[in-house]
Structure 1
Amino acid sequence: MTNPQEHHFLSSHGDVCYFEWGRAGDGLSVLLLHATGFHARCWDKVVDAFPDGTHVVAVDQLGHGRSARPEIKDWTMIAGATVELVKSLGVTFDVAVGHSMGGHCLVQIAAQLPDQIKKLVLVDPVIVSRETYLNPPDYSASDQMVSRRRNSWTGPDEMFDRFKDRHPYKLWDPAVLQDYCEYGLLPDGEGGFELACPPQTEGSVYATSASVDPYPLIEAIEQPVTILRAPQLAQEGAFDFASSPTPSGLVDCFANGTDVYLPDLTHFMPMQNPKRIAELIISGS
């Protein structure tokens, strides 16, 4: 695939940046939504594995990448900005893909725009048990942990060298980690770089992760849905971000759902094996 074009759309929640490969109508149209703290260009190696001629739109979701970076008060803000973008594009996507938080947002979007999304692929989505939304826990610990992340860097190479041997980044394809670092930094105005998703903004996403109950929306989704699910890892002490947040029974909540369990991968499956994830996305479309 060729280098994408960068576009910007002004939503009611702020500017939304998105990247586009190919043209609508030339082949399959695919919508890609990333996870918390990531950005649209984390999908580059997945896109590279798609068939030639595939039309792709990958979104820097609100608070991330080159989009506006407000404090997130609930996840309807993130999904709402993308809903407005998708409506403005007027494209019917053959398949829409959401990883982690992106999967939760995709459920919101598909419920609002059923005529523009033919099929959903939820990649280890952050859609937890229904009981969690009825009695939301306190996620302030995750918020505080993420908010302390280092935000000042000399450049992508320093960031790559710091992360490459650390869990969970050491599990990733190095080329994807390079994209994460290359496009995950912005100039700080003082000769250095800062995270494109500021720690405080990312922390606000984690803090509000139970702010929207997706189950009433799930019940309204009639399109085919494929869930790619990683193992829930045994955890001792600190939370392991590589563990799946997705209940094994989530697939049963969809009218037309298929569960694909991938025991050899983790929550970061698009970063670990982008070619395999690309094949799973395309094979069911």
Structure 2
Amino acid sequence: MNEAGQPIEQRFQRGDTDLCYFEWGNPGDQTILMVHATGFHARCWDKTIAALPTGYHIVAVDQRGHGRSAKPDNLSDWSLAARDLAALVNGLDLNNLIGVGHSMGAHVLVQIASALPERFERLVLIDPTIADPKIYKNPPGFADIDPGQNPVSRRRNHWDSPQAMFTAFKDRHPFNLWQTDVLMDYCRYGLLPAHDADGGEGFVLACPPYLEASVYEGFRLVDPYPFVERISLPVAILRAQMAEDDVTAVRDFANSPTWPDLVNSFANAKELYIPELSHFMPMQDPERIAGYIASGL
């Protein structure tokens, strides 16, 4: 899809929903709706989108609190991210969608496809953050969530430039697994001028560390399985490398958070297990992932 060039940056505002999204291609063509993972942004899909065949209309969304979308105080309630995305799908009157979600973005996509099945043709769930069903039993209350206790909340927030961020990350696991041009997109579009955020110099993360931490802290609060059980659409699951043990899984974000038996929880799903790729498979091999999106496996 190289001829599509740079996307058009758009804004969708309705009620409490205030999202930035990016649009490639002709709106008259079939739409692929792309939903990124926690802490990322819509432009992390750039190289995947460039590798897609021609003839698609692409809408890639900055989820609430991410990228250039509005920043609420907390992101622990994943149902609000789904509410925002559903409002955008309805507001833009998107139909015949190929829904593509990565990680937490796949969880959000499952929620809205369950509520709006008539607007989707099929789903591609890239290493979805949908764990063993027992994980969601007896979750903590929202009042018990403290993002400040999560180490992600202490991420470095201020940077002199996107290049400085790239240089700091390029040899660090798991970013050293990524294609360098994808990592540069993550840095280039994942920072905002500091004077827009807190009056400082340089740049700050477009998803503030405290908000990113609140997403991780809320992962058990919205049980995805009632939504999964209502979906009869064709679903393709790409599942990444598994951790050798639970401790490694928690400490290394490169490992898959997807329950291996998830494919059997959907009425109409197939899975491709790709152990040679990490949880960040769209960043490692965007061309390969684009092929799976187009073919549905």
Is contact 1:12–1:81 with CA below 8 Å preserved after alignment? Answer: no
Show the counterpart of 1:225.
235
Structure 2: gaps of 5 or more residues? none
Show the counterpart of 1:101.
104
Is contact 1:24–1:91 with CA below 8 Å preserved after alignment? Answer: no
Work out the CA distance in 2 between the residues paired with 1:125 and 1:11: 28
Work out the CA distance in 1 between the residues paired with 2:283 and 2:33: 17
Shift, 1:232, TM fit = 1.2
Show the counterpart of 2:282.
270
Q: Which amino acid aligns with 2:163?
A: D
Work out the CA distance in 1 between the residues paired with 2:96 and 2:240: 25
Shift, 1:140, TM fit = 5.7
Work out the CA distance in 2 between the residues paired with 1:63 and 1:48: 25
Select 2:47's aligned residue among 39, 45, 48: 45
Is contact 2:228–2:266 with CA below 8 Å preserved after alignment? Answer: yes
Shift, 1:73, TM fit = 3.8
Secondary structure at 2:150's aligned position in 1?
A: helix
Alignment map for 1:214-253 (pairs within 5 Å): 214-235=224-245, 239-253=251-265
Is contact 2:170–2:180 with CA below 8 Å preserved after alignment? Answer: yes
Work out the CA distance in 2 between the residues paired with 1:92 and 1:112: 14
Select 1:2's aligned residue among 1, 5, 13: 5
Shift, 1:211, TM fit = 1.1
| 1:33 corresponds to 2:35 | yes
Shift, 1:117, TM fit = 1.0
Cα deviation per residue 1:100-142 (whole Å; 9 max; x = unaligned)? 0000000001011111111000000000111111133798689
Show the counterpart of 1:201.
211
Work out the CA distance in 2 between the residues paired with 1:225 and 1:143: 35
Same amino acid, percent of matched pairs? 53
Show the counterpart of 2:80.
77
Secondary structure at 2:94's aligned position in 1?
A: coil
CA RMSD in angstroms comes to 1.7
Select 2:70's aligned residue among 56, 68, 71: 68
| 1:86 corresponds to 2:67 | no
Alignment map for 1:94-243 (pairs within 5 Å): 94-136=97-139, 144-189=150-195, 190-235=200-245, 239-243=251-255
TM-score, normalization by structure 1: 0.95
Q: How many residues align?
A: 284
Cα deviation per residue 1:120-177 (whole Å; 9 max; x = unaligned)? 0000000011111113379868952100000000110000000000000000000000
